[in-house]
Chain A
């Protein structure tokens, strides 16, 4: 379980959000929605302490990640897989090596075992024929899928998705959505998805939080979202051109 308590973040004089309280139950998928620039990615980066808050805490299994020693923090971070917005693949190595990368440094697996694990992950994201392609040869959707394969290669307990479907065509977006559902259900992973694609949110998420006006403005289940009487949330979902 991830608990966020009284989190506040600002950059210089600019307050991003404050008084954010949130609980993410194990094995569920939470979507964080909100306008561009409302601090969704900033909030996501607090979960594994890539960013530190001005106030508040994030508890992973009861331990505040911001108070961990760097050695302990690195161990906690390995429980997280992250799919970054642009996939953040290392462009100096091939797609295969990107996925093998954490295995080579953090496990004592043999080359044969590494290859087998990478192929398993590639199969899970429907890219088993990718071979040794360089990252520059991949399409946007393929990059996201390689990023996802790299995120799950160490068998994380939590998966963080930063705009997983942004910049993708509807068909590829649906493929990514299916993968998110598959990961959560079949691998029992707790997922946090950032998106302003309401179609994607409604497909993959069980719970939704709405960041607006520098605070966590609304939170509830998908069913509650459909009947929510929240003016700005309604405006946001309407603006996303998706009737709920």
Chain B
């Protein structure tokens, strides 16, 4: 029963957000600052995560492919393919579930328990337009850029790890990467990052917007936002792979 109530409240919040999405003037200013906080400020951590994921992937692949019959370019193919199709999007999704999801839930939760959301409503603002739309739209618009950054740094990490360990040369790595490069894979990764952007920001907004019970309630909301965002990132990744690949 509680689950249905939660789904109903979440759907109603989204409906209200979509209904008031035309009030661009209200959230224009917030949208740009949210894009900076969600996108620009997250590039560093996501690039680092992507870089080391690519590096580890290269080392592990070369460790497993011991047969001389398998060309070394396969290492580049596997690393780049894995990063583009799955890992860049999922790793950045999981990292941003913590970084962006927690921030959004805490911000909105604090605003709720300190009556700042009531203050907005009492002034005549639509608080959903003002608070939820810019965060969700910023997530949808910036996550694809973050995904691309994660994919590039992952492949870079893979190349550098290959050179440092002597398991593969740049030429061999890039030969494999080019051989198995399909534009649809990039499109698939971008579609996934759009979905992740929406999932993480909307769940976190929901948790924060309806937080209650003071500081402890905000803590619970933040934890739920992070955990649920991670779960739904993995679930939507699975569903998208099943549907689109």
Using CB atoms and an 8 Å cutoff, list the residues of chain A in contact with chain B.
45, 48, 50, 70, 74-75, 77-78, 80, 82, 84-86, 88-91, 101-102, 105-106, 154
Contacts and interface: CB of A to CB of B under 8 A. Distances in A.
Contacts of B122: 48, 50, 77, 80, 82
A50 B116 CA distance: 12
A50 B124 contact: no
A101 B120 CA distance: 10
Prevailing SS type, chain B contact patch: helix
A50 B118 contact: yes
Contact of B115 (A74, A75, A86, A105): A86
Interface of B: 26, 114-116, 118-119, 121-126
Contact of B124 (A45, A75, A86, A88): A75
Given A50-B121, A50-B122, 18 more contacts: A45-B118, A74-B126, A75-B124, A77-B122, A77-B124, A82-B119, A84-B118, A85-B115, A86-B115, A88-B115, A88-B118, A89-B116, A90-B116, A91-B116, A101-B123, A102-B123, A102-B124, A106-B124
Contacts of A77: 121-124
Which of B26, B114, B116, B123 has the most A CB atoms < 10 Å from its CB?
B123
Contact of A88 (B26, B119, B125): B119
Given A86-B114, A88-B114, A105 B119 contact: no
Contacts of B118: 45, 50, 82, 84, 88
A90 B123 CA distance: 13
Contacts of A45: 118
Contacts of B126: 70, 74
A66 to B, nearest CB: 14
Contacts of B116: 88-91
A74 B119 contact: no
B115 A84 contact: yes
Contacts of A106: 123-124
A102 B207 CA distance: 26
Nearest to B113: A86
Contacts of A74: 124-126
Contacts of A105: 26, 125
A88 B121 CA distance: 12
Contacts of A154: 123
Contacts of B123: 77-78, 101-102, 106, 154
B119 to A, nearest CB: 4
B131 to A, nearest CB: 11
23 contacts: A45-B118, A50-B118, A50-B121, A74-B125, A74-B126, A77-B122, A77-B124, A80-B122, A82-B119, A84-B115, A84-B119, A85-B115, A86-B114, A86-B115, A88-B115, A88-B116, A101-B123, A102-B123, A102-B124, A105-B26, A105-B125, A106-B123, A106-B124
A226 B79 CA distance: 83
A33 to B, nearest CB: 21
B71 to A, nearest CB: 55
Contacts of A48: 122
Nearest to A82: B122
A51 B31 CA distance: 28
A91 to B, nearest CB: 8
Nearest to B125: A105
A212 B26 CA distance: 41
A107 B219 CA distance: 37
A86 B124 CA distance: 19
Contacts of A91: 114, 116
A80 B119 CA distance: 11
A84 B121 CA distance: 12
A146 B243 CA distance: 54
Contacts of B115: 84-86, 88
Nearest to A98: B119
A108 to B, nearest CB: 12
Q: Which 7 A-B pairs have the closest CB atoms?
A: A88-B119, A88-B115, A78-B124, A74-B124, A82-B122, A84-B115, A77-B124
A106 B126 CA distance: 12
A114 to B, nearest CB: 15
B2 to A, nearest CB: 13
A74 B20 CA distance: 13
A50 B119 CA distance: 9
B231 to A, nearest CB: 28
